[in-house]
Amino acid sequence: QVQLVESGGGLVQPGGSLRLSCAASGSIVSINTMAWYRQAPGKERELVAEITSGGTTYYLDSAKGRFTISRDNAKRAVYLQMNSLKPEDTAVYYCNADVTTYFHTRAYWGQGTQVTVSS
C-alpha cells in the first residue's frame, strides 16, 4: 500500500506565497516522476509541474517563473513553492507520483489540498 499525504494549502492574498509538501510512504522500491496537478471548480485537472527522478522539470506556462518544484528523494517528498500567487491559481492541488513497488509500477494520488488566493 502506498500513500501520498499533502500539506501546506490555505488562504493567501494575491501576491503572496505558499509551499506545498507531499510525502510518500508504504512499500516503495523507487519513485519515478513526481508532480503537482490542480483542479479549479468547473475545470479539468491540469498538470502544474513535474520533476523526474533525475531532476528534470516541466512547468505549466502560467506557472513558469512563479512556481518551483523540488524533491527530496531520501524523504520521498516533493514540494511546490508558489510565489506571486494570483486569484486564478485558486484550486485543489493534488500530488501525483509514479511509484514502483515489489508488485507493480503505477501512479498514485494524494487527497488534495485547497489553495485559495483572495483578498
Question: pLDDT-based confidence at 4, cuts 50/70/90?
Answer: very high
Report the alpha-carbon distance of residue 45 to residue 57 in Å, rounded.
19
Q: What is the pLDDT of residue 20?
A: 98
pLDDT tens, position by position, 8-27: 999 999 999 999 999 999 99
pLDDT tens, position by position, 66-118: 999 999 999 999 999 999 999 999 999 999 999 999 999 999 999 999 999 99
Per the structure block, which three cell numbers stand in for 80? 511546490
Residue that is written with C-alpha cell 488566493 in the block: 117
Cα distances (Å, whole numbers) of residue 30 to 19, 67, 79, 88, 102: 24, 25, 17, 34, 10
Q: What is the pLDDT of residue 23?
A: 97
Which DSSP state fits 87?
G
Q: What is the mean pLDDT of residues 25-37?
A: 97
